[in-house]
Amino acid sequence: MNAPQFDIAVIGGGPGGYVAAIRAAQLGMKAVVIEREHLGGICLNWGCIPTKALLRAAELRHSIDEMKDFGITVGEVKIDLGAVVARSRKVAGRLSMGVKHLLKKNKVTVIEARAKLGPKSGDMRHIELDNGSQIAAKHVIVATGARARALPGIAADGTHILTYREAMVPGDLPESLIIIGSGAIGAEFASFYHDMGVKVTLVEAMDRILPVEDTEVSAFVQKTFEKRGISVMTGVKLSKVTTDKNGVSASFDGVDAPLQASRMILAVGITGNVEDLGLDGSAVKLDRGHIVTDGFGRTGEAGIYAIGDVTGPPWLAHKASHEGIICVEAIAGLADVHAIAPGAVPGCTYCRPQVASVGLTEAAALAAGHDVRVGRFPFAGNGKAIALGDDGGFVKTIFDRKTGELLGAHMVGPEVTELIQGYAVARTLEATEAELMATIFPHPTLSEAMHESVLDAYGRAIHF
């Protein structure tokens, strides 16, 4: 056996894996990333990044409709869908090249292959690669991510029934579109395709869209979507889909007539990539398609770790990156490595209106036994939002009545995905209402609504 040896091998080059490998290299470890397809993973190649490029195009398209109010008129508007998609791919390509460059700069070895865990000899774990070669590493981090979940009996065919992957690179625009699932992915596609002129129906099995968000946020987004002309159906479960050359016909439990559309996007969640990794027979535990870990990425098997989407929800790139860093720092034996605290992972949805949140929803705070104080502030009371002509939405903050601890913050409206970090910082520092009130938020900014929401929780809002 003279397989190349590493301190750390990371299987999967997404935002969990490549960040873990870079951090390992910074800490002086010899690291390798094994990636089967694209450096940067789904996030960078088929998720967060290319969708943001698409949504920016949609936002620019929408801004044309706003311009008249600002005294700007334009002649005929033409959208070259091919160019919209091509730009999105180009951005993904640039970033994937960037990751390659970063790994090289940090002296991380990159292997393009599929990897499978092999036996251990001494403290080294063998990894078999599908190019026929082998490597060995003291520590192996599984960062294989996840893939679109299928519904029983309903298969994506890539033509009429799409996953996010095909939905991101449409060759043409369908006349109409049914989107099954109204989490972040479904809501973002609904927003994008509607702005591009497609008749969209967004369908959710739960009783409200964006079901992980605070109920007030869900209600506001649904109202805004409907005002824009997006049809929303909640509390209905897809039972059957048939396709023919004209498109899809979808039947729902308890709904009489099937719904017809040119295409359908399935966005019903994701499932971990745990297969063919050689985990069988190991002490690595699985739970509903995900690898079970402690707060430091450790699995049941010594020397095997897992981070990111393969370990379960929330399926978010920044959670994966942060887990990667924690996992590597713990392996390196650094002092003061802390597992991710509950409610420390913010979530963002980039539909119009944008949604962002961190910590507990009001319902979750009550369910956890907190006596709460709740503050709300509408962007309609915010000068910058009014000046921008984009004053829909609100900020909602939830405090523990006894301790004043900020339990959660929920935002919907302009640029909230960029605003939420202030509350994330506050939560890391265990801020109470007193410090947030004492903070001077600059004027005129949307962020003043964050301040006012806190003030409102204590009956002290100024502009409401």
Q: Which of residues 357-396 bind its own copies (CB under 8 A)?
A: 381, 383-384, 386-389
Shortest CB 133 distance to its own copies, Å: 28
How far is it, in rounded angstroms, from Cα 229 to Cα 210?
Answer: 18
Shortest CB 224 distance to its own copies, Å: 20
Q: How many Cα atoms within 13 Å fall on the side-chain side of residue 74?
A: 11
Binding mask 98-117 for its own copies (x = CB under 8 A): x---x---------------
Shortest CB 207 distance to its own copies, Å: 26
Rule CB under 8 A: which of 250-279 touch its own copies?
none
> Is 290 noted as a catalytic residue in this protein?
no
Binding mask 332-361 for its own copies (x = CB under 8 A): ----x-x-x---xxxxx-------x-----
Stretch touching its own copies by CB under 8 A, among 220-228, 255-263, 291-299, 427-435? 427-435
User: Which residue type, as a one-letter code, is found at position 297?
Assistant: G
Rule CB under 8 A: which of 396-425 touch its own copies?
415, 417-422, 424-425
Binding mask 3-22 for its own copies (x = CB under 8 A): ------------x---x--x
Q: Which two tokens stand for residue 42?
A: 């789904």
Contact indicator for 25, 106 with CB cutoff of 8 Å: yes
Contact indicator for 406, 434 with CB cutoff of 8 Å: no
Shortest CB 31 distance to its own copies, Å: 13
Q: Rule CB under 8 A: is residue 297 a binding residue for its own copies?
A: no
Strand-pairing partners, residue 405, are: 432
- Tell the burial category of 186 from Cβ atoms under 10 Å away from its Cβ (0-12, 13-18, 19+): buried
The contacts of residue 303 (CB under 8 Å, 6+ apart) are 120, 123, 125, 138, 139, 140
Across 45-61, b (16+ Cβ under 10 Å) vs e yields bbbbbbbbbbbbbbeeb
The residue (of 19 and 264) whose beta carbon lies closer to its own copies is: 19
Catalytic option among 38, 101, 443, 451: 443
Backbone Cα Rg of the chain = 24
Shortest CB 386 distance to its own copies, Å: 6
The sign of the dihedral angle between the CA atoms of 128, 133, 139, 142 is negative
How far is it, in rounded angstroms, from Cα 374 to Cα 408?
Answer: 10
Shortest CB 233 distance to its own copies, Å: 29
Shortest CB 178 distance to its own copies, Å: 25
Of 316, 351, 407, 411, the residue at the interface with its own copies (CB under 8 A) is 316
The residue (of 125 and 322) whose beta carbon lies closer to its own copies is: 322
Rule CB under 8 A: which of 31-90 touch its own copies?
43-44, 48-50, 52-53, 56-57, 60-61, 63-64, 66-67, 69-87
SS3 call for 454? helix
The residue (of 310 and 356) whose beta carbon lies closer to its own copies is: 356
Of 122, 132, 153, 442, the residue at the interface with its own copies (CB under 8 A) is 442
Contact indicator for 127, 118 with CB cutoff of 8 Å: yes
Beta strands in 308-452 (DSSP E): 347-349, 355-359, 372-378, 394-400, 406-412
The residue (of 125 and 318) whose beta carbon lies closer to its own copies is: 318
The sign of the dihedral angle between the CA atoms of 287, 291, 292, 295 is negative
Active site residues: 443
